[in-house]
Amino acid sequence: MIPIAEPCLGPEEQENVLEAIRSGWISSQGKFIPEFEQKFARYCGTRYGVATANGTVALHLALKAIGIGPGDEVIVPVLTFIATANAVAYCNAKPVLVDVHPEYWCIDPVEVERNITDKTKAIIPVHLYGHPCDMNAITDIARRHNLYVIEDAAEAHGATYRGKRVGSFGDINCFSFYGNKIISTGEGGMCLTDDEALAGKMRILRDHGMDPNRRYWYDIVGFNYRMTNLQAAVGTAQVDRLDNLIARRRQLAIWYTDAFRNLVESQVIRLPPEMPWANNIYWMYSILLEDTFGMSRDELIGGLKEKGIETRPLFYPLHLMPPYQGCSPSAFPIAEEIGHKGLNLPSGPNTTREQVAQIVDCIASSRKVQ
Ligand SMILES: Cc1ncc(COP(=O)(O)O)c(C=O)c1O
């Protein structure tokens, strides 16, 4: 099977984990946690990192830190992994879904502005599949309407917007280090911020709400959202690989784009976007199948699976699924089209040029059979 993605782990990760085990610091204290937090925050161009158990709780922690609660509205793209909206729901606030931009598939700033009400407190731009959002437009809207920006950069480690790394634009910026992400700690996440007070608040909330100066004293209800030293031991070594892993994904995208030239010229497929102001890190190389392809996306996924090629459908737009049906009355034509036509191809760092040729041949010949 050619996998959709796989982690890239080596002797440095092994050595760090062994060191953590030998030291006895295997829970949420130990030297690797601050080391990983500082290293990753520095990489992204922010001052503070707060490591968490996973990316979903990083989002929840960020929203709690800025005080999101019942009655508040948070603007979320309708095309994203469900965790983005779930984190808002965990706060008993309302995720207000908005459509994505047809050219680059991320939250559309025009739709954001159109959906602001007097209850809106925050916007969560999601850098979908590794392509940055239009952050100047988003931060400008936020400034004019006095809203927080929480970047969901779970899929976009190291992607840049106008030359600046994502994860450095919002008030708080959240990452995931799940096994299929650009870098991984198994499960894991992090919140980045330049705001010392928000970083402090998140550290307290992450540790059950415990007063940092008085052990076992709690003024608020917090969570156990801590990362372990074992996870951070892996993470700190992973940061050193990040540039290389991004370069490998960008190389893979060049191979795919080259191999797909005929299918693109025949207008049967569309390739993943990269706007002139963006550096896409292609966490997933996603294509859209036009109706002229002559076969449905799900049929193609089934056919490729039989040939040993693992693919995934693009996310279903959130408003189609029971928890978020009726959340927003509007239609979402762009997200529906992309969600319906899109599939992710094997995008892992070990995918070879020969495998790319094999995958593209299989896709092209599936079409001929029709
Ligand atoms: C856009 C987005 N947000 C949030 C998450 C949640 O991260 P995790 O799986 O680490 O909880 C993910 C990933 O899986 C994601 O893709």
pLDDT tens digits, residue range 202-250?
999 999 999 999 999 999 999 999 999 999 999 999 999 999 999 999 9
Spacing, Cα 80 to ligand 1 middle (Å)? 9
Atom 7, ligand 1: residue with shortest CA distance: 55
Index of the ligand 1 atom closest to the CA of residue 57: 11
Q: CA 264 to CA 66: how far, in whole Å?
A: 45
Spacing, Cα 154 to ligand 1 middle (Å)? 5
- Strand-pairing partners, residue 149, are 123
Pocket of ligand 1 (CB under 6 A): 54-56, 80-81, 83-84, 126, 152, 154-155, 176, 178, 189
Index of the ligand 1 atom closest to the CA of residue 56: 11
Q: CA 81 to CA 63: how far, in whole Å?
A: 17
What per-residue confidence (pLDDT) applies to 368? 56
Index of the ligand 1 atom closest to the CA of residue 127: 1
Task: Report long-range pairs for 83-88 (Cβ below 8 Å, ≥24 apart).
Answer: 83/55, 83/56, 83/59, 83/154, 84/59, 84/124, 84/126, 84/152, 85/318, 85/323, 85/324, 85/327, 86/56, 86/323, 87/56, 87/59, 87/60, 87/62, 87/63, 88/63, 88/124
CA 286 → CA 194, 274, 303, distances in Å? 33, 12, 17
Tens of pLDDT, residue by residue over 149-181, are 999 999 999 999 999 999 999 999 999 999 999
Spacing, Cα 174 to ligand 1 middle (Å)? 9
Atom 8, ligand 1: residue with shortest CA distance: 55
Spacing, Cα 76 to ligand 1 middle (Å)? 14
Q: Token digits for 252?
A: 């893979």
Kind of pairing, strands 189-193 and 172-176? antiparallel
Spacing, Cα 221 to ligand 1 middle (Å)? 24
SS3 317: coil
Q: CA 324 to CA 89: how far, in whole Å?
A: 10
Summarize the confidence of residues 20-48 as an average pLDDT.
98
Spacing, Cα 267 to ligand 1 middle (Å)? 32
Query: φ and ψ at 279, to 5 degrees?
Result: -120, 100
- Strand-pairing partners, residue 84, are none
**Contact in structure between 104 and 110 (CB atoms under 8 Å):** no
Gyration radius (Cα) of the chain, Å: 21
- DSSP H helical segments within 194-326, as ranges? 196-206, 229-259, 261-265, 297-306
Index of the ligand 1 atom closest to the CA of residue 87: 4
331 falls in which pLDDT band (50, 70, 90)? confident
Task: Annotate 229-244 with b (16+ C-beta within 10 A) or e (fewer).
Answer: bbbbbbbbbbbebbee
According to DSSP, residue 58 is labeled: H
Does position 369 have pLDDT exceeding 50, yes or no?
no
Summarize the confidence of residues 338-361 as an average pLDDT.
98
Index of the ligand 1 atom closest to the CA of residue 180: 14
Summarize the confidence of residues 349-369 as an average pLDDT.
92
Kind of pairing, strands 278-279 and 312-313? unpaired
Between vectors from CA 315 to CA 362 and to CA 328, what angle results, nearest 5°?
150
Index of the ligand 1 atom closest to the CA of residue 177: 10
Name the residue of 59, 81, 152 to mutate for ligand 1: max ligand atoms within 8 A of Cβ. 81
Kind of pairing, strands 164-165 and 285-289? unpaired
Does position 329 have pLDDT exceeding 80, yes or no?
no
Summarize the confidence of residues 80-100 as an average pLDDT.
98
What per-residue confidence (pLDDT) applies to 330? 77
Spacing, Cα 167 to ligand 1 middle (Å)? 14
Summarize the confidence of residues 353-357 as an average pLDDT.
98
- DSSP H helical segments within the chain, as ranges? 11-23, 32-44, 55-65, 83-90, 109-114, 135-145, 196-206, 229-259, 261-265, 297-306, 333-341, 353-369
Summarize the confidence of residues 28-55 as an average pLDDT.
98
Q: CA 138 to CA 255: how far, in whole Å?
A: 32
According to DSSP, residue 320 is labeled: G
Spacing, Cα 368 to ligand 1 middle (Å)? 37
Summarize the confidence of residues 107-128 as an average pLDDT.
98
Does position 354 have pLDDT exceeding 90, yes or no?
yes
When the pLDDT of each residue in the chain is averaged and rounded to a whole number, the result is 97
Does position 301 have pLDDT exceeding 60, yes or no?
yes
What per-residue confidence (pLDDT) applies to 327? 74
- Strand-pairing partners, residue 210, are 218
Name the residue of 74, 79, 155 to mutate for ligand 1: max ligand atoms within 8 A of Cβ. 155
Spacing, Cα 81 to ligand 1 middle (Å)? 6
Residues 6+ apart with CB under 8 A from 80: 126, 128, 152, 315, 318
What per-residue confidence (pLDDT) applies to 370? 46
